[in-house]
Structure 1
């Protein structure tokens, strides 16, 4: 189908070779028990269940994982999403479907689902993401553990023997056995479900504590900015001896480094604490100092490091864990202006965000623009010394341009950069000297980094130098007084200060088309749409792109609004990104009842597209299609695939519909259900307030159900008219005054 959507029940054709690779002996989470007879005849327990176990020595987070089930030879998978953390030796109980019989419930589950397991034969897979498996014999690194039982056509080694209504597959040694052979690892016995409150069963004892000293820095706090030659007051490091023996005298030294570790460029600050009396096992020492910043350090980003026993005075069990970078993050160093490097005066508070309106600048709200847009702004009648001209001077802009000239200004030490666009329009951008920026300015870090980035590319002098370098530049809007500056815009607009500059940036995303998945030319809210163009995602995503399969947001029941730093806004609101590639992005539009023309913008890292205009309606109905075919994504009532037999491939069998049969169609863009939806929730369901009118072969068909079943995915249950002719039969649906694109068909065969 045209939409790459993991939430769709039927996705693209994916053929998986019929071979299951045995998982390596897992040091962590395994499936420890499987029971599918819950509520059946003779069963005591009412529910099916799957039990997990942590056979390792470290805790494992299973948030975003899933347990998935398929019949013994089936290729259709059901899943239960997991959450939480499993400690070493701990069990984790997943309660599944309840039967009609039984007299007792399993212990309180750690997670619940509704999957109906076979009592005798089936396949259970633990998956490290939430994406539904495909094919009868799935494979891949996402498979953490695989158990086949009975006549299962896939397993690790040989499958466990067939189970019954009163027996379960139970991993031996309390869950510790893992020889990568289901038949060897499991025995068949009465179900004994265990949950996270059950007694733990450690498979191997934790490693013994070291018999020597082991010094570690457990915490380091420091200021986040400073000036070369000054001090970092209030710096505090905590050192602990986590070994089994007491330490003799040692020193804690402070270092500044361009990275978070020791390198040849790391500099000792000359500041340290002496632990002259040593440190007993299990005790701590606090080293609080005013760390001296060497005066010869350059401006930029530095890491403060605290190193326990930096002179190697103590014999330790582990010499590799003595270093810790500051918990408070990096330190932005500035260099004070030297003689001959004066600071500015004219509107200087506004230029460096030490003015009365500095709190009005939102550094996190970046507005993509052009030189043409900025030079078209009206010049203000007054330019206050200590206040901002709103909204321009409270806005952070980013634009692409070409640097044509640059210099170091002798009167205020700014870098004066002349920017030009393809039409010859020019404007000025300026990077102040960090030493001229007040230490309390929230601009200081960004200004310092911008200055460092500029120095890495160009060397400015007090005379203009020519250049022809593409840049992406970010800065705060500023109206300067006109006094004949080189490159000045007619209205005096500048980016001042510059907060970021990227030389030779990658091209901006370009949008060429937007439509609903399935081909409807316009879009709607809660609608899967396809965005096509160029440079939409980084090339690192590869030719096949990437999906949201392992997005961390799913652990909290949300959908992601970005993948690999690619984000989309529809009418100014974040969309939910499912698939990205260099030439196509698929997103679910946010809940937004706007109608008419709306803007769509793509951000690929720091590069942003121009706004693309699309028409938004209340509905934009469209059937999903298999690949590039004309056949609608549909199933028979039993879940088997509907289509001509010629579409069948290994693992995926198709057969046509029959007149009088109830079939299930899948679609997008049918608007909101009667039940209110929560924007961004990974769970959506609800019937449409009215049924669509479906025509099959020109005859109105009986619609039994229509509604949303997962985010943006709609299911329509419809009866094939008895008069439907054999062959490829046209089908359309009309809803809310709009009709699905013509040309879609289903296969019918008596």
Structure 2
């Protein structure tokens, strides 16, 4: 995933000096230029029904377009691709626009204003090339160099990943964004410098905008008038003017540049924010902190995806905007100093739908509290880190450190209605060459003041854009280790190794191996999740499904780390059927130490053959080992299939079932605009749990004293419907639910320490000793995003006499271990 707030298109157009001249495109145009391009008309989420191309005249005299055309080429042209043309007539007055309507889609609700020319080109919404051409004969060039040499080309822009472009390719637009030149119509001959992505504003030669009229005059507004008392501005999509404020922060880099202002004269309503973001696209704003500015622009609600279908909250902003600097060096409005008591425990109202229209209640709900301070400067003192620094240069802090604290400095997610409302993300507005982003672990502290404007991020919810970062206090969080299993104990562990393939670095293999050997003390059996095939995602759809090279490299690394020579068992999936990273063919599998435990191999298991249970001499037995559990069941569509294996330890049979249930992809975010969020992925996991529980019931029906261990990444919580299905009636115990609440986590997501990985045991295992070994999830440097778990126990012999005998041997073993310790 990416961490940018939006994907921007920066579109620059170069042209000849005058429209009638036959010049190369290397010289900027003195008059006619391509001003705006939009290819999302009629697409999903679009408001406009048509694509369009808008021209503009930056010169002082009218320019004739008779005999000219606009032409379109796909972003990545093939040998058969051709330029599509639309002929132009008439002229562009000085300082005016010229609108060319193109292809109409099936969606959208708003027609273009009356176009000056009409074509039928169905342009891409994300990548392509538009040229303004002297003549109506289709161009033939298909490279940037060839098109630059064609003197018929007056102006050209390549956007998205376009092959034909001037300078750098402009970023991609979308169904809801056009690419538009700045109001100055500047032309620097670089497609990555002159244009930005903005909401489409088609304007014809009469000055009519969307809807066929120029619209009302701008409304004079204060910041709090724009922000309003709900999540959506009461002035949404309206032009405003004379918006005054002091610049409090600037984002001078990245694809979402702009600046924040705060009105120094607030109103008395706690629901209305006095801060506002002024979006400038990829252009660095020419303002400084402390400038008093007067801004004009259009009020927009920015969503990170389609506004019509988005699950996320919006950010109120001005885009496009113009401004004047009235004075500089002004004192900044005071920041709101956040303390725990200010942030409510409840996250959001729960109306069963969209909360955007509801009046904000900042004293009752944390999302309302942050919304009421949107784009204002807030500050934290000695902020505790609850989510480590990620590869996207972000971390998570909490405003409520007393809220469900973990034993190691995090904050634990304990139930659907116990989300930690004090957690928020921190990113930096400080250029990294001035201050590298802190590399912090859970439990570390940003000492002193950390402050900046608050906004919303689709990945992480409320987000502090820090213009001031506190000092980094390393609280020396240590990676855990667990004890070695005794001679009479069987140790079973589970570990999600995060898309492991031979393409990964040796360093990752080595760190994972040391986790097995040093942290987990070389368990007897390890269930692995996210083992990829031999060429990982590199071979998407090439038919490679074997993972022997992956597992060989891993087991070799374990030996090099001082561990045993593990053997493995797994079943290759069918190509591209089990979900996960495209092409990786992830699967579950077993590692086992043959010096301590035996694997019962029963042939016949493959990707499509289901494992069964039979009763032999009063004991349960698998028909296949290893074997997949009901792999054709629709519950496992595009998901990993459980793998059952039969092991023997000291003469006692143990059944281990490795799992990796479907992901939470598609669920609405806990911090989004729909409350309560719909957890759509739970439907499939509920089906998977039902199928898996049915197989476990078969095992226990064949032998009620069977040693059954269910292990793996269930992608769900101890309090989820899926896990409750597995534990219903006491058939299995979810071991992570037996530890103190402050220790119930194996994964950290958006600053919430939570459970996705589980070890569940039937009633037969005795002397259970369970441990979550924290070596990854809380650390900025991690081999996997999951922490492993280990279970040590004495398997049942299946009858009282046998259990008593083994209990005696185990007791003697413990005595010997106590009084005659091994060197």
Q: Same fold (TM over 0.5)?
A: no
TM-score (norm 1): 0.23
TM-score (norm 2): 0.21
Higher normalized strand content (fraction of residues): 1
Higher normalized helix content (fraction of residues): 2
